[in-house]
Amino acid sequence: MEFNQIIHEFEDLSDVDYAKNMKKFGISYVKSYGLRLPQIRKTAKQCGKNHDLALRLWNHGYHETYLLATLVEEPDKVDSIQLNEWVNTFYSWDLVDQACINLLRFIPEAIDKIFIWAESDKEFVKRTAFSLIAVLAVHNKNYDFDQYFEIIKQGSKDNRNFVKKSVNWALRQIGKTNIENNKKALDLAYEILELDDKSSKWVARGAIRELESEKVQAKFQKS
């Protein structure tokens, strides 16, 4: 599927009312066709992987073309310049999370940059670090997550909504990988709970509530 075909299709499917509703879910954008993610994923399957197409889609500057670009991009063709440019363009939580799920987890350099992004002053760059940790925990349960404990602890102090939610997500996902990591994540959560910080306490309580739940603990008893 070529670029012009995609744009024509997106224009035909455009839903102004849905675009307005997106903002109710905290999804910000400059330009949007108002398409749902399943529609974008369906288009991605028709496109296949295509680096040049991904660049054109990204440069088009619509919310949906940004999302589609993360789906069709070829991870091994993303260089340092493109990686930094794309991540520093992030402006919405869903774009961050979809980029981590669809693309960044397959790029070793992106994983290496977690520590750098975790120190960023930019809300969505910083979210990228912790969302990527969470996504790694979903897809690689035997990964070494201990290395991220200190930045999770420090990140919990960030009161910005989309940062603290990603820190909480990272901590919860690590704690659901296996029983050993569950214990480690809970220890870390209780350590964070002791910090004299409102955001940290919110992160910790949410993690403890889920990781100590019957549902999560029962899963480990079965394994």
Which residues in the chain land under pLDDT 50? Answer: none
**Whole-number Å distance between alpha carbons of 112 and 69:** 22
pLDDT at residue 223, rounded to an integer = 63
- Map tokens 């930094």 to a residue: 84
Q: Is 66 found in the same domain as 169?
A: no
Q: Is 66 found in the same domain as 14?
A: yes
Residue range of the domain that includes 139: 113-223
Q: Is 34 found in the same domain as 134?
A: no
Tens-digit pLDDT profile for residues 184-218? 999 999 999 999 999 999 999 999 999 999 999 99
Q: Is 133 found in the same domain as 102?
A: no
Q: Is 26 left (phi over 0), alpha (psi -120 to 50) or beta?
A: left
pLDDT at residue 98, rounded to an integer = 98
Q: Is 100 found in the same domain as 15?
A: yes
Q: Is 121 found in the same domain as 94?
A: no
CB burial of 124-147 (b: ≥16 within 10 Å; e: otherwise) equals bbbbbbbbbbbbbbeeeeebebee
Q: Is 94 found in the same domain as 175?
A: no
Q: Interhelix angle for 93-102 vs 63-72, to 10°? A: 10
Q: Is 175 found in the same domain as 122?
A: yes
If we measure between CA atoms, which residue out of 105, 92, 208 comes closest to residue 156? 208
> How much is the pTM?
0.95
Q: Is 147 found in the same domain as 45?
A: no
**Whole-number Å distance between alpha carbons of 96 and 125:** 8
Number of domains in the chain: 2
pLDDT at residue 20, rounded to an integer = 84
